[in-house]
Structure formats: structure tokens, C-alpha cells
Amino acid sequence: MATVYLSLGSNINREQHLSAGLDALVAAFGDLRMSQVYESEAVGFDGDNFYNLVAAIETDLSVGGLALQLRNIEDANGRVRSGPKFSARTLDIDILTYDDLSGEVDGVKLPRGEILKNAFVLLPLSELAPDAIHPVLGKTYQQLWESYDQASQKLWPVALRWP
């Protein structure tokens, strides 16, 4: 079984879509662990604020099989893929890490670059897995968060009523 960290985000009916995404993950993979939920401003476009969190699952699926299953969960939640890359989302689920794999695996770049770029990914990941090691940099997520420019992106914790 591989340990996988996933980033989930939504800025359209945020609670509804994040809850549905978490429900679908539990149905597919069983128990999951999750970080606190954070609200942040949209990055890369003008839009409503996002809710973001990181979840950990265990799976026997390949990276490609997992990516397909996550895409199906997004689609079931009304994800529109025809617009610009940076746009409003009902539900976005990204594979951050898959065990300690690195490089391109089944068309998925691992570890995901957003770990180091976005506070709304790194903070919840460092909270959920502070002692886990970034597979390329060899530093813990807690160390990476401590060295991150925390003033560069605003985010704050919010309550999500789930389950």
C-alpha cells in the first residue's frame, strides 16, 4: 500500500464540494487523515476565495489509476475543464506525493511543484505530516514551512462541517 498525500480545493459551493470529495475518497480508499481546512485568496486569477486542505490515503492503485479515479471524483462534482487553467473550481484534487516517487510517473509529475509554491498546500501538508520528507529536497515538510515566506500568501483556518 502506498501512502499518498492529496491536495483538495474548491471555491464554488466550497463546503458542499469538499465534503462530497472527502466522502468519495472515504468510499474509495477507506479511512483518511486530513489537515485543518484553510481559506485563501485565489492565486493566478480574480475569483472567490478557496477552501483548501491536504488528505492522506493508502492505496494499491498505480499513480495513473489513482489520477483517473481522482479525475472521476472531480467530474462527478461538476468540474469544468474547458476554461482557463487558473479559474474557479467546484473541486480540485491533486496528487502531491505518492510514497517517495519522483519524476514523471504515468503522466503525473511527482512530487507536485505546488508543495513549494503555495502556502495553501505547504501549510496543511506540514500540519498533517510534519516529519515526512520531501522526496527530492530531503527536508521535512515542517522545515520547508518554516523556511517558506509565510507573508507571501494570506490564509486562515476555517471550520468545515464534515462528516
* pLDDT attached to residue 19: 96
Q: Are 24 and 66 spatial neighbours (Cβ–Cβ below 8 Å)?
A: no
Q: Is residue 6 classed as helix, strand or coil in its secondary structure? A: strand
CATH number of the structural domain 2-158:
3.30.70.560
Amino acid at 88: A
Cell numbers standing for residue 147: 523556511
Mean pLDDT of 130-148: 97
* pLDDT attached to residue 135: 96
- Asked if residue 49 has pLDDT above 80, the reply is yes
For the stretch 80-126, pLDDT in tens is: 656 666 667 889 999 999 999 999 999 999 999 999 999 999 999 99
| Rounded Cα–Cα distance for residues 74 and 93 (Å) | 7
| Rounded Cα–Cα distance for residues 162 and 160 (Å) | 6
- Asked if residue 9 has pLDDT above 90, the reply is yes
* pLDDT attached to residue 63: 98
